[in-house]
Structure 1
Amino acid sequence: MYCTRNITDSIVWVGGSDRRLALFENLFPIPRGVAYNAYLILDEKTCLMDTVDASIRQQFIENVLAALDGRTLDYLVVNHMEPDHCANIEELALRFPDMKIVGNAKTISFIQQFYDLDLSDRTITVTEKDTLSLGRHELHFVFAPMVHWPEVMMSYEASEKILFSADAFGSFGAHNGTLFDDEVELDSEWMSDARRYYTNIVGKYGPQVQMALKKAAALDIALIAPLHGIVWRRKMTEILEKYQLWSTYTPEETGVLVLYGSMYGNTENAANVLAAMLADCGIHKIAVYDVSNTHVSQLIAESFRYSHIVLAAPTYNNEIYPAMYNYLHDLKSLNLQKRSFALIENGTWGPLSGKAMREFLQGIKGMTILEPSVTIRSALKEESRAQLAVLADAIAASLHS
């Protein structure tokens, strides 16, 4: 049975949610599931804005058919060709033989890579100068390459001032009947998933996001309709402010993120002692995570959030502890910049992880390494505890500078 909601009197949400999927992109845990959004514009011509993942195909098709109420589908606009949004192009093309597929040149090329479809006379290739009139509604196309695929575009509907934003402004999390930002508890329910989604999916492409934000700023936007997560209509300022911070790699919090790896508890003890010392220094925005027990996507999200990051790791095969190395690899791949780091190494006979972490960080733009680095030999002793106290003072001084 269909399940739709009206975005406006003439635009219908026809997406759905998947709570059975454990890993988004087979990588990222999604304990709250994920929503796939698609929108149908009803005018003199009908126009569907994107499709959804194959996992909810039946629900999606029922929604589209119910919203059309016997009408045909005239246009399908493809803003993003990733399979969680393009999986039903062929299904719709077969159901609606007169439907035109609208996209840019890269979009059309990608469709031909994914599908064995005869697209002769079935596509409309658009540029940023083009518009598509549906009657009262008119679509303008805003290209947003590498946010986060090269073909990505956003579509702006002028009469109702709606930005169909592709993957921008999206989030992990399934809908619980609620669809709009003013129907949910934004901070407690959605913002952490929006942060984790942005930082891990889009985070590498900050300059490209900045370009897209500048284009969006030139539009009169009353509502943002992304392909994942909630629809923004009352609290757009909040997500726009977050995107400004995230895309310029500006910390949200002036505080300390302590990340540790520990095989037998000794490095964990050092991390906890340092966190207590920082609290004694008057620092109260502190988060502590075990890199072995926390998914790396959460560690990345927190790294985008905090200004100062402490890395505490034992030496493993004369290298960085594997879980910490995995985090650092993702950190570099996702282009995080402009953070201050402090280093704690441990090793019984050859503590080398500090040197290896330092070399890794020195290859990343805009990173500062605070001194002193702390060396622990097996377990924390008075000498190494004294080093931690000096490091805590250095972190506190940096925070207050």
Structure 2
Amino acid sequence: MAITEILPGIHYVGVNDRTTTRFEGLWSLPSGVSYNSYLVIGEKIALIDTVEEAFGSRLFENIREVIGERKIDYLVVNHMEPDHSSSIAALRLRYPDLRIVGNAKTLQMIGGYYGIGTGTVEVGEGSTLDLGGKVLSFHLIPMVHWPETMVTWYADEGVVFSGDAFGTFGALDGGITDSQVEPERYWDEMRRYYACIVGKYGVPVQKALQKVGGLPIRTICPTHGPVWQREIPRVVDLYDRLSRYEGEPGAVVAYGSMYGNTEQMAERIARELAEAGVRRIRVHNLSYADPSVVLRDVFRYDTLVVGSPTYNAELFPPVEQLLRRLEARCIPQRNFAFFGSFTWAAAAVRRMKEFSERMKWEPVCGPVEMKQGYSPAMIDPCRSLAAAVAERVLRK
């Protein structure tokens, strides 16, 4: 069996992208990303999802390597985001008799994106497609993370083609399945992917997990990252905890600083947290930190401490950007504390208090506010804030 044949008659034909620097034009890709596509071969052949169009020629060569000059009968579209659908038009030109399978929302989007309105097959919840020897069924999981998203289920082998669910950043370095790669390198990339891409949609993810969790799954074929077989319990558990916004005990200290004074408060608070016994501490200077890494850590840990100087009577812009991203992801609860500084007119602390009220996060203690430069007089207030935060973190 070739390394790309995941199971008899199921082949990986996806591609790696090691050149794009920003996923969705936003999120860094230091280890690249894979766009996963799969062939299911019975008497007829179905391709499940395509790849980003810049890599379409590689997809077509991978397909040809598996099936030669045979034609593809069906394209199943689980998810319409262009990194998975933008090769559809070129695929139709190559296989003009190809029938495109999708639900009603999918087919509308195919028309809107690619002008294709013929040669389609509409499916709904529980619909089936018989390839002759292999029967696929379809299950809708809307808003994970687009409204048209569905999964494809092949019951005979216990395979779910899950779309973006259970996906990760990170290209595939040779192997395809989790037994062929080093899975440890993907867990933080899965957290980062979830926090950036799916993080707003915890409730739909929980509904999808309940639906998919009833299937006897032995293989998960996502559209990014490794194919999961050995690590399925850990993958599902991680998605379950992320979608319930359940943080592990630990503290993220995220701050902005123009001239180093607010930074000294952040460093003192982090040092005092460690002195109090907190071991999982992540400190981020938001002027330099990768936003996707900060979001990953906020999703991972149960406590967030934010610091900001006043800037133009508002929050320092990188701090404001972080708080807006957190609001957009509707995180229901974190242990929260905040600190700030000003020179002549205080505003940052007030803005962070307003943020906590909008999020309905009850701060673990009152804020620390500094006027002008850092001095030894700030040690005790920072120590008191850290003590209150540490008590909450270590309570579990």
Shift of 1:116: 2.3
Listed as ranges, the gaps of 5+ residues in structure 1 are none
SS of 1:230's partner is: coil
1:314 and 2:314 correspond: no
Structure 1 distance, partners of 2:268, 2:116, is: 62
Once the two structures are superposed, the pairs formed by residues 57-96 of structure 1 within 5 Å of their partners are 57-96=56-95
Shift of 1:379: 2.2
Q: Over residues 202-241 of structure 1, what are the superposed CA-to-partner deviations in whole Å (9 max), with x where a residue is unaligned? A: 1100000000000111101000000011110100111111
Structure 2 distance, partners of 1:129, 1:94, is: 30
Structure 2 distance, partners of 1:290, 1:183, is: 37
Structure 1 distance, partners of 2:318, 2:312, is: 13
Q: Quick check: 1:136–1:159 contact (8 Å CA) kept in 2?
A: no
TM-score (norm 1): 0.96
1:376 and 2:370 correspond: yes
Structure 2 distance, partners of 1:333, 1:348, is: 31
Question: 2:121 corresponds to which letter in structure 1?
Answer: I
Q: Quick check: 1:261–1:268 contact (8 Å CA) kept in 2?
A: yes
Name 2:192's counterpart in structure 1: 196
Q: Quick check: 1:375–1:384 contact (8 Å CA) kept in 2?
A: no
Structure 2 distance, partners of 1:105, 1:118, is: 12
Structure 2 distance, partners of 1:274, 1:25, is: 35
Q: Quick check: 1:153–1:165 contact (8 Å CA) kept in 2?
A: yes
Q: 2:123 aligns with which of 122, 126, 142?
A: 126
1:399 and 2:393 correspond: yes
Q: Quick check: 2:20–2:29 contact (8 Å CA) kept in 1?
A: yes
Structure 1 distance, partners of 2:3, 2:120, is: 27
Question: 2:92 corresponds to which letter in structure 1?
Answer: A
Range that drifts further, 92-101 or 103-112? 92-101
Structure 1 distance, partners of 2:142, 2:273, is: 42
Once the two structures are superposed, the pairs formed by residues 1-400 of structure 1 within 5 Å of their partners are 5-119=4-118, 122-187=119-184, 189-251=185-247, 253-365=248-360, 367-400=361-394
Shift of 1:305: 0.7
Shift of 1:289: 0.8
Structure 1 distance, partners of 2:280, 2:90, is: 50
Q: Quick check: 1:257–1:302 contact (8 Å CA) kept in 2?
A: yes
Q: Over residues 312-368 of structure 1, what are the superposed CA-to-partner deviations in whole Å (9 max), with x where a residue is unaligned? A: 111101110000000000010011221011111111112220110110121114x22
Q: Quick check: 1:105–1:126 contact (8 Å CA) kept in 2?
A: yes
Q: Quick check: 2:304–2:336 contact (8 Å CA) kept in 1?
A: yes
Q: Quick check: 2:252–2:305 contact (8 Å CA) kept in 1?
A: yes
Q: Quick check: 1:22–1:29 contact (8 Å CA) kept in 2?
A: yes
Structure 2 distance, partners of 1:225, 1:325, is: 37
Shift of 1:180: 1.4
Structure 2 distance, partners of 1:249, 1:320, is: 26
Structure 1 distance, partners of 2:175, 2:273, is: 41
Q: Quick check: 2:177–2:227 contact (8 Å CA) kept in 1?
A: yes
SS of 1:330's partner is: helix
Q: Quick check: 1:372–1:387 contact (8 Å CA) kept in 2?
A: no
Structure 1 distance, partners of 2:180, 2:95, is: 35
SS of 2:388's partner is: helix
Identical-pair percentage: 40
Listed as ranges, the gaps of 5+ residues in structure 2 are none
Shift of 1:382: 3.5
Q: Quick check: 1:139–1:156 contact (8 Å CA) kept in 2?
A: yes
